[in-house]
Amino acid sequence: IDRSGKAVIEPQYSFALNFLEGLAPVMKNGKWGYIDTQNNLVLDFQFDAASNFIENRATVIKENQTYLINPKGTSFAKGYDNISQFMNGFALCMKDNKFGIINKKGHLKVAGLDKIAQGNQSLYAFSRNNFWGFITADGRETVIPYFTSVGDFKNGLAMVQLDKKFGYINQKGDVVIPIIYESAQDFSNGMASVKLRGIYYFLDENGHEKLALSLDGRSVSERIIVKVNQNELLYHNGELVTASIK
């Protein structure tokens, strides 16, 4: 259907995905093919599974083989157990429970990783011997595996965990915000939520505390007092009753 709800292609397929890059995967009689926006069959129904085209590549499965195709049906990178969608010209791949990175020609750029996660700034979090670091698509380790866990880079900073404490590093691996917090979240809109000694703080990219939230010890289930910096908010049965602003 189009945005007005009018049927553009009448129901005729067992299953279908959305159009991306002018093509959509559709299923008929248990096999997947690709159609264009005029419902012309571009790639015949031959695949056991098929993904959307992203960056001119789609992942398909045929006869128990997983590989990439372009919109003309040319195949790349055969022999993998799974291949992710492409981002910035690269995709993650898996074979025999090991992970790597391939380019759009199907060439293997990185191999033999225990775990890997696709990032949004051309850096990939990866694991070796149960420790996490960061690697580029060409295999250069920008942050050696040292941390218990890591987040994604947002605003140039990534959340990291060392044992049971959390902090933030830059893309060079330098600790920018100390690893002292009991919990932490990725940055969003220039702020990150952390917890220290039972108090929740919102930090800016320099680690400055912009907002502090805590639950007052006088609170009970039906009467909750929330402290925001030096101010108090009183909630009764979930509704704000009073606010003491200082």
Please state which of the ranges 4-13, 58-67, 208-217 shows the lowest mean pLDDT: 208-217
Both tokens of 60, joined, read 């398909």
Q: Calculate the CA 108 to chain-centre distance.
A: 22
Check: CB of residue 122 under 8 Å from CB of residue 88: yes
Return the DSSP state at 222.
Answer: T
CA angle 63, 64, 67 (to 5 degrees): 95
Tens digits of per-residue pLDDT, 2-19?
777 788 788 899 999 999
Distance CA 54, CA 39 (A): 19
Distance CA 61, CA 80 (A): 10
Distance CA 15, CA 169 (A): 44
Distance CA 6, CA 72 (A): 30
End-to-end C-alpha distance for the chain, whole angstroms: 55
Q: Which helix (H) or strand (E) holds 47?
A: strand 41-47
Check: CB of residue 176 under 8 Å from CB of residue 207: yes
Identity of residue 43: L
Please state which of the ranges 16-30, 59-73, 190-204 shows the lowest mean pLDDT: 190-204
Q: What is the pLDDT of residue 231?
A: 66
Q: Which residues pair with 196 in a beta bridge?
A: 199
Phi, psi of 115 (to 5 degrees): -150, 155
- What single string gives the DSSP state of each residue in 221-235? TTEEEEEETTEEEEE
Tens digits of per-residue pLDDT, 127-172?
999 999 999 999 999 999 999 999 999 889 999 999 999 999 999 9
Instruction: Give the pLDDT band of residue 191 (cuts 50, 70, 90).
Output: confident
Both tokens of 73, joined, read 């049906």
HEC assignment per residue over 133-161: EEECCCCCEEEEEEECEEEEEECCEEEEE
